[in-house]
Chain A
Amino acid sequence: DIQMTQSPSTLSASLGDRVTITCRASQSISSWLAWYQRKPGKAPNLLIYKSSTLQSGVPSRFSGSGSGTEFTLTISSLQPDDFATYYCQQYKTFFWTFGQGTKVEIK
């Protein structure tokens, strides 16, 4: 199976900060990577798929990049609604695997 490793595990940031989360795959997954946002008690939300394609309705301050084994999720200017946990997921190879998550906290 493909292991997905996110860093950092926790990130403390202030409103308006530019935030970057990294996801690394244990082998090449081309661009078959998605990012999700999860808040307690709410349904997880798809942000980005195919590494850099923004899901409909997701604010443009979110962006994704990367291919092969290294990927990043960037929030250009952190907003109050963005404090949450973020997960990456590979869908190149069965079975589908997720990173362990990055929690974005208020600094």
Chain B
Amino acid sequence: QVQLQESGPGLVKASGTLSLTCTVSGGSISTSNWWSWVRQSPGKGLEWIGEVYQSGSTYYNPSLESRVSISVDTSDDQFSLKIDSVTAADTAVYYCARATIQRYFDLWGRGTLVTVS
């Protein structure tokens, strides 16, 4: 059974870089899926951040594109998120998720809270 698990610091200083990793267990990241990051800020809805394919191809939410980078490590079945120049507005629960080719999300991690102070 494939599972996703987010990991990384729960507290990041303002103007710093937020870094998270998602580990795929029970399966391979080298499939015909896209691997995404989604977040939910306090009092707001879900926001798609971006996605990466096993080849390293990426797409990002235009509102975050200038500060976001997503990468993949197929040897370790992990993908990672970096957000630069964070502010309090980046405080959120961050989820990693597996998307089908059509781009709906059929598997999610439990999420990890990141607070920017």
What residues of chain A have their CB less than 8 Å away from a CB belonging to chain B?
Answer: 1, 32, 34, 36, 41-46, 49-50, 55, 87, 89, 91, 94-101
CB-CB < 8 A to B103: which residues of A? Answer: 91, 96
Please measure, in the bound complex, the distance between the C-alpha atom of A100 and the C-alpha atom of B4, giving whole angstroms.
Answer: 24
Which residues of A lie under 8 Å from residue B95 when comparing CB positions?
43-44
Q: How far is it, in angstroms, between the C-alpha of A19 and the C-alpha of B99 when the chains are bound?
A: 28
Verify B59–A94 contact, CB threshold 8 A: yes
Please tell me which one of the listed residues B44, B48, B106, B111 contacts residue A96 in the complex, with CB atoms under 8 A apart: B48
CA distance A89 to B100 in the complex (A): 13
Known: A32-B102, A36-B105, A46-B104. A101 touches B46 (CB 8 A): yes
Contacts A91-B103, A98-B48, A101-B45; A45 near B108 (Cβ below 8 A): yes
The residues in B between 22 and 45 inclusive whose CB is less than 8 angstroms from any CB of A are 38, 44-45
Q: CB-nearest residue of chain B relative to A46?
A: B106
Describe B's contact surface by its main secondary structure. strand
Identify which of A50, A55, A95 contacts B106 (C-beta below 8 A). Answer: A55
| Residues of chain B from 79 to 116 with CB closer than 8 A to chain A in the complex | 95, 97, 99-100, 102-111
Interface residues, chain B, with chain A CB atoms under 8 Å away: 4, 38, 44-48, 59, 61-62, 95, 97, 99-100, 102-111
Q: Which residue of B lies closest to A93 (CB)?
A: B103
Within the complex, which residue of B45, B59, B97, B109 is in contact with A87, where a contact is CB–CB below 8 Å? B45
* Cα separation A96 to B48 with both chains bound (whole Å): 6
Q: A46-B107, A100-B44, A101-B45 are in contact. List 6 more A-B contacts (CB 8 A).
A: A32-B102, A44-B105, A55-B106, A89-B105, A98-B47, A98-B48
